[in-house]
Every structure is written in C-alpha cells, then in structure tokens.
A and B are shown apart, each in its own frame.
Chain A
Amino acid sequence: EIVMTQSPLSLPVTPGEPASISCRSSRSLLHSDGFNYLDWYLQKPGQSPQLLVYLGSNRASGVPDRFRGSGSGTDFTLKITRVEAEDIGVYYCMQALETPVAFGPGTRLEIK
C-alpha cells in the first residue's frame, strides 16, 4: 500500500507571511490519464474536513487563490501565499490512486 508523509508536522506562521507544506508518497501518484491522484484537505478546529486542492493542482470551488498545489509523481507541495487567521487547522494530503486510500499524518498550521 502507498504510504504518505508530510512535513513539517507543525507550522507556526505570522499572518501575511507565506507557508509551505510538503507531501511525499511511497509510490508515484501519476496515473496513465495524466493526472496526479493527490488531494489536499483542511480540517479547521471543530469542523469536518474540506477539500482544498484536487488532482495535484486544482483549487476546489470557493477556495481562495492564495492556496496553490503543485508537484508530480511522489513529491507535492501546498503553498499559501499569504496566511490569514482563518487558515488555521490541520492540513492533510491524500492519495486516491490505489486502494486503500491513504492520508498523510497532517500538518498543524498555527498563527504566531
């Protein structure tokens, strides 16, 4: 099965500053259809997870353009160009290429 790792696991950020989260998979997530089956989710405190980015680099509906997903194969990055207070929570990457679906351990973003 595919194993997902993330770094860092904790990310203190000053509002207005950028932030970057790395996600790595134990096998390539690039499908023959040309898409990377890697998604990003944010779980805000006390809430259900919400989709941020799908298939590697596509922002979900309603997601601010300060969130940007990139990468291919086994290495992916979620960048927030300017962190806002409402961005706090735990960020998870997830692979859906193979069963079982696997989430990364999560990166907790906190405001300094």
Chain B
Amino acid sequence: EVELVESGGGLVQPGRSLRLSCTASGFIFNDHAMHWVRQRPGKGLEWVSGISWNSDNIGYAESVKGRFTISRDNAKNSVFLQMNNLRLEDTAVYYCAKDNGGTGWYFFEDWGQGILVIVSS
C-alpha cells in the first residue's frame, strides 16, 4: 500500500524558513516524479512544485519561484520542500503527491494526508 507522510509543518514568522519532508513507502520511489500541492484555508488546490525521478526536471509555481526549493533523496524515499522568506499568504495545508510518471507530469495517483503551515507574527 502506498503511503506518503508529510512532516515539518508548523507556525513560523514571516520572513523565516521551514523545510517540509515527505517520506514515501509502498512503491518504487525512484520510478516516480513527486509534487507539492497546497490549499490555503477555505480555498482550492494550488500546485506548488514538482520534481522528476532523477531531479532533472523541476518546476515551480510563479508564486513561490525564487523562495521555495524542491529536492529529493531517492536513497531515503523522501522529497523535500525548502521554503524561505515565508509570507502570510503561504499559510496552507501542503500535500505531497505521487505522479504516475517519472520524467514529466501526468497525474497524481496518490496523496499524503497534508501538513499545516501557518505563517504569522
């Protein structure tokens, strides 16, 4: 059974940093691209970033470009989201999602339970 477990969320002040982790199990991790998707309180889904199986293909939403960095460690079955210079509008539940594909983006066949990030002074 596929399992994606996010961690690292919490309360952080504006301008500070936070690093999210997603640990995967139940599938061959380095066969799949991975993504971060967020949902602000009461709002819809917003794709944040994606990374291919070998980290050669990486993409970001304009809203986070230059502030967030996605990475992965295939040996540890984990994907990370380094979030710097956090803003109030980054407050959201962040979901880790597994892509069906490895190199490009196809569809998100499994999702984690989500982790809450609150940016507040």
Contact = CB atoms under 8 A, between A and B. Distances in A.
A103 B47 contact: yes
Interface of A is mostly: loop
Contacts of A54: 100, 106-107, 109
B108 A48 contact: no
A48 B59 contact: no
Contacts of A105: 44
Contacts of B100: 54
A41 B109 contact: no
Contact of A100 (B45, B47, B109, B110): B47
Interface residues on chain A, size class: 20 to 34
The prevalent SS among residues of B at the interface is strand
A20 to B, nearest CB: 20
Interface in A34-81: 37, 39, 41, 43, 48-51, 54-55, 60
A106 B46 CA distance: 11
Interface in B61-113: 61-62, 95, 100, 104-113
A30 interface: no
Nearest to A43: B45
B45 A55 contact: no
Interface of B: 35, 37, 44-47, 50, 59-62, 95, 100, 104-114
